[in-house]
Structure formats: C-alpha cells, structure tokens
A and B are shown apart, each in its own frame.
Chain A
C-alpha cells in the first residue's frame, strides 16, 4: 500500500500547501506535458530535480520518498521491458542509445509519479473539491471525486482487515504460481467491493437525510482566492512551458552517450 501512502494528504502548513489548487494542478499538467514532449534523458533529469525544491519547501520529503519507493517496482518493470523489447526486436543487439532510451521512458514515469505525488501530498481533498467546483465542474461530480479520494485510505485499511480475516481461514496469498496467486485475491476483492458498495449506499442515505441537493445553488464556507504565491507559480509554469517548447524546437539535445 506504499504507493497510496504517497498520495495521502496530511495536514501540514507550508507555502506549497497554501497555494491555490487550480494553479498547482496547472503546474502538474505542465510538467506532465513537458515530460511527454521530451524523450531524452537530460531534460527529464532536469525535470526530476526541479521538483525537489517544492518537496523540501512543502516538508513532505518523507512521504514523497515513500511514494517513489512504491513506484520503484513499476519503474524497474518499465526499464526492463523497454530494454528487452529493443534487444529482441533489433536482432539481439543493444546499443548505449537503446539503454538510454529505456532510461528516459522510466524517468518519464518517475517524473509523472513524483509531480502527482507532490500535488496530492500538498492538497487537501476539500481544496481539491473546491477547485473542481470553481472550475465549473458540477457539484455532484466534484463531490464524487473528493469522496473517492478521501476513501482511498479507508479502503486500504479495510483491505488489510479482509486479508487478515481470510488468512485466519487458512488462505495463503503468496502461495502457488502467478495465476494461482491472482486467484488467491478473489476472497479479498469480493468482500472489499461488496463493502464499498454497501458503504456508498449508506453514505448516500446519510447525505440525503442531511438534505443533500436540497438547493440548486450551493454556497461555500471557504472560497478560493489567488494570492501572490499563486501568481508566482503561474509565472513559473508558463516559463517552464515556454522554455520547454523553445528547447524542443530550436536546441539540439545531446544524448549522454554522445557526451563521452
């Protein structure tokens, strides 16, 4: 469950936490786009290191490292698959360029994970819902989204309890071949899904009894306002995009192999 840990919000106050979620999300999307534009190792490495000041400023380095550790398995997988496919498709031949390419793919994934992780670690579900609402997303959808995010840790905990209950009935999750292992999770997944559905029905009843959707036009206790820092981040975001597009079209990016 360590990947989820990297997405779990904890209440801390820092300049990053106070930023407007819409701008922050814009920033994450910008990083996302830039990571897609480039397929070379050097710019992706730059992107990777660019996030670190944010993490330190938000003081979430521990959780952030944990989410990276959680992504390590998938990252290794991506690297291995990339190297293996080029190796087999190019007639059992591997160049430094191929390896670098695979590394770039992996780095792209890591950059995506790290930027999303920073976003979720520093944005409370409430803020997120508010941001969606103020971006004209219908309240029902915004609410469904924030509820889903909020229930992730609850479900993770429930999954643990269910695993314990089934282990107590002699289920060995780690036993057997790959297929058997996947099948072993059926007794965990069914109760988890059933209880999630049951929980959602209960939640719906509880909300309706508290007059959910009684008025068409809802008001909010907290409103999002843009501050100085938000404009700063907006400027940084635009700057990154402009520089990235410029470099992409007008600058030749050397591969690491060609530097030596």
Chain B
C-alpha cells in the first residue's frame, strides 16, 4: 500500500510542484494519474520509490516512511519504468540489461538466469537476447526497459507514459499485460496523457492540476465529465464524445467502453426497429 499524506514538494529552483497531495493506493489497484503538462504527475510518482522525498508531509510504502529508506531498498518492491528507455539502456546485450537490476539486488546467478529468460519471454524479446539494445527499434527498446524492471517481479509497478511512441498493437499488448498483472494482485500506477488508453483499461483515475488532486474516482465517472476534463486540458474519449452528443436522444452519457457502447446501440436498434 502506498500512502501520501499531505505532501508538498519544491524543486531546487523553488518551483513548487506539489502543493499538498494526499492519496492512498491499495494493494492490487490500477491507478491512472492524469493531468496537463506540469501538473505534478511525475513528481508525485517519483515519491513512491523514494527518488524524491517530500519537503513536507510523508509518504509511506507498506508502512515504511520513504525518508527512512534508500531508493534501492524501496525499488525492490516498487518498480519504476521511465518514459524514455534511452535514459537507462547501457549494456552490450539485452540479456545483460535485464540482469542489471537483478545483480544490484543481489539475486543468485541461477535465479538471475531464470528471471531473465522469464522476462524476455513475457515481452516477446527472446530472439533479441544477445542483441545490443541500441540496435532495437524504439518500441522494442521500450519493451526492454519494461522487461528490465519486471524481471525482479516488484509488487508495485509505476509506468511513466508507457504508451508514448507505441503503435496500436503494442498498446494492446501493454493493456493485456496490465490486466495480467491485475490478476496477480499487483499494483499498477501509470502516468499518462493517453485518454483512449485509459478509457480502454478503465482504471481508477486521479486527475491533477497545478500540484493538487482535483478529482479521484472511477474512470467511467471522471472521463465522462466534460467540465472536469476541460479543467485539466483533456479531451473526452471518442466514445464518450459520441454518447454526449447522443444524450438528447435518451442515451446514457457515461459510456467509455467499446463493448458496452455496442450493446447499448444494438439494444436501441432492436427497440426502435432500426436497420
């Protein structure tokens, strides 16, 4: 469980990025943190593995205050995948890249071997095992970065902008992967601008603006509230836009799921005898 209690944070250049944020993320939850650029999303999640320590207030990860623990110790339970894979890839082969963290955490060589194989397989990278990560495409590098974190099987996974630069197929794989994590009762926190991706996953949504949380609730609820989204410069998901337009005809407004939308339209077709 991650608990942020009224945290404030100012960068060394005196910019106050968080102005009193309280948030509790329970084990097994899937949370999307959204909001415009500079809202403090990344600053907030960097508190969850101790990369940043609050100037005021406190952050507890499984009851341990982050100021009393090292990043390395916290990282064992909280995996953080950075937005840009190029900020972390440095090894000669993909295999070594994935083993890096495992070595840092002091896993036994046999275990490392086994975990690397598992992670490569999970993200369909097995064929690149001995390839240099620098020779891979952007999307593949992103997957290597993800694999290098998943390899140590952290309890909580933080994904900073995981969908940027990914094609639809990769996004879909990522979505399925997150769902799989969910079935294993893992906590997933993602920072994202990708409203369609969030609509498809339908997680709990935390909306931030200017260093504060302005809304926190079910995706379905928040992503269909035009006033709230406009406040954070986010557009409604396309399905929600359609249903907002259809509302005068008696359709419900709070629809973001494609399957649900299809059912409603089919039902309407039957009842009105449309073709």
Residues in B whose Cβ lies below 8 Å from that of A170: 72, 75-76, 101, 104-105, 152
Instruction: Decide if A69 is an interface residue (CB 8 Å cutoff).
Output: no
Cβ < 8 Å to B, chain A residues 155-183: 158, 161-162, 164-172
Contact with B along A180-208 (1 / 0, CB 8 A): 00000011001100110010000000000
- Whether the pair B100, A187 counts as a contact (CB closer than 8 A) is yes
- Whether the pair B104, A169 counts as a contact (CB closer than 8 A) is yes
- Whether the pair B75, A162 counts as a contact (CB closer than 8 A) is no
- Whether the pair A168, B87 counts as a contact (CB closer than 8 A) is no
- The bracket for how many chain B residues form the interface is 20 to 34
Which of B51, B105, B149, B152 makes the CB contact (< 8 A) with A167? B51
Instruction: Decide if B55 is an interface residue (CB 8 Å cutoff).
Output: no
- Whether the pair B82, A171 counts as a contact (CB closer than 8 A) is no
Instruction: Decide if B66 is an interface residue (CB 8 Å cutoff).
Output: no
- Counting chain A CB atoms within 10 Å of each CB, the highest count among B49, B70, B71 belongs to B71
Q: When chains A and B are docked, how far (Å) is the Cα of A168 from the Cα of B100?
A: 11
Cβ < 8 Å to B, chain A residues 92-122: none
Instruction: Decide if B19 is an interface residue (CB 8 Å cutoff).
Output: no
How many residue pairs between the two chains, A and B, have CB atoms under 8 Å in the bound complex? 63
- Whether the pair B71, A168 counts as a contact (CB closer than 8 A) is yes
- Whether the pair A194, B86 counts as a contact (CB closer than 8 A) is yes
- Whether the pair B72, A167 counts as a contact (CB closer than 8 A) is yes
| A187 closest partner in B (C-beta) | B90
Instruction: Decide if B58 is an interface residue (CB 8 Å cutoff).
Output: no
CB distance from B106 to the nearest CB of A (A): 9
User: A164-B51, A164-B82, A165-B82 given as contacts; is B104 within 8 A of A171 (CB)?
Assistant: yes
Residues in A whose Cβ lies below 8 Å from that of B84: 161
Residues in A whose Cβ lies below 8 Å from that of B79: 168
CB distance from B113 to the nearest CB of A (A): 18
Instruction: Decide if B175 is an interface residue (CB 8 Å cutoff).
Output: no
| A169 closest partner in B (C-beta) | B101
Residues in B whose Cβ lies below 8 Å from that of A168: 49, 51, 71, 75, 79-80, 82, 149
Instruction: Decide if B37 is an interface residue (CB 8 Å cutoff).
Output: no
- Whether the pair B90, A172 counts as a contact (CB closer than 8 A) is no
- Counting chain B CB atoms within 10 Å of each CB, the highest count among A165, A166, A194, A195 belongs to A165
User: A161-B82, A172-B104 given as contacts; is B88 within 8 A of A166 (CB)?
Assistant: yes
Chain B residues near A (Cβ < 8 Å): 46, 49, 51, 70-72, 75-76, 79-80, 82, 84, 86-90, 100-101, 104-105, 134, 148-149, 152
For the complex with contacts A194-B134, A198-B86, 18 further pairs of A-B residues with Cβ separation under 8 Å are: A161-B82, A162-B87, A164-B51, A164-B82, A165-B88, A167-B51, A168-B49, A168-B79, A168-B80, A168-B82, A169-B88, A169-B100, A169-B148, A170-B72, A170-B75, A191-B88, A191-B89, A194-B89
19 contacts between A and B (CB under 8 A): A161-B84, A162-B88, A167-B71, A168-B49, A168-B71, A168-B82, A169-B75, A169-B88, A169-B148, A169-B149, A171-B100, A187-B90, A190-B90, A191-B89, A191-B90, A194-B90, A195-B86, A195-B87, A198-B86
